[in-house]
Amino acid sequence: PPWSAAEIHPLFLEDRFCQEMPYDAVFPALKLATRLISTPQATYYLHAIFFGVNRAVPDLIAEELHPIRAMSELTARDRELVWNELAVMACDTRIVVREELRQKCLLGQTRYKPSLLTGDRRRTPSLIFITPELIDPLRQHEKFMSDFRARNVLSLAITLVHEIAHAA
């Protein structure tokens, strides 16, 4: 079927992917990933990442996120701000199929370099690695709606959303 770039977030446009990615085959997963990052829950989480108050946890490397408002208080403007932050992030994000993830038993991995000037992880280059195990079954010319294919579309979409959250 003909796919439209209007159906997906800029994070998932074709130029964000490496050449080995069979874009037409993974497009259903990209469309689903776009819908997943558009849910109120994902918007709330990403809003907290982008605009919340972050505090370092003593004796740990981790940070705590403190949202600036409740999920029920998010406005259409908040959703637009999150969408736009993700679009800006898309300019510096690339998605690559990485064979080494098979040996590590990982479905995905994100690498980024925090800005040395600001310490901000956003607006810095991010690489999202995806295991071929999620891509290869989608290359097959099997019936599109088979259970196996549907499971792989879902797994790829969830993995992409998970890695996007790391990159954010």
pLDDT of residue 34: 93
Radius of gyration of the chain (CA): 17
Tell me the helix, strand and coil percentages in the chain, rounded to 5.
50, 15, 35
What does the pLDDT look like over 109-168, one tens digit per residue?
877 765 544 455 555 678 888 888 888 778 776 555 577 778 888 888 998 898 888 887
Per-residue pLDDT of 20-71, as tens digits, reads: 778 888 888 899 999 999 999 999 888 888 888 776 667 666 666 677 778 8
Average of per-residue pLDDT across 81-103: 83
Q: Residue 89 contacts by C-beta under 8 Å, 6 or more apart in sequence?
A: 11, 122, 123, 126, 167, 168
The whole-number pLDDT of residue 2 equals 57
Q: How confident is the model at residue 120, as a pLDDT?
A: 56
pTM comes to 0.78
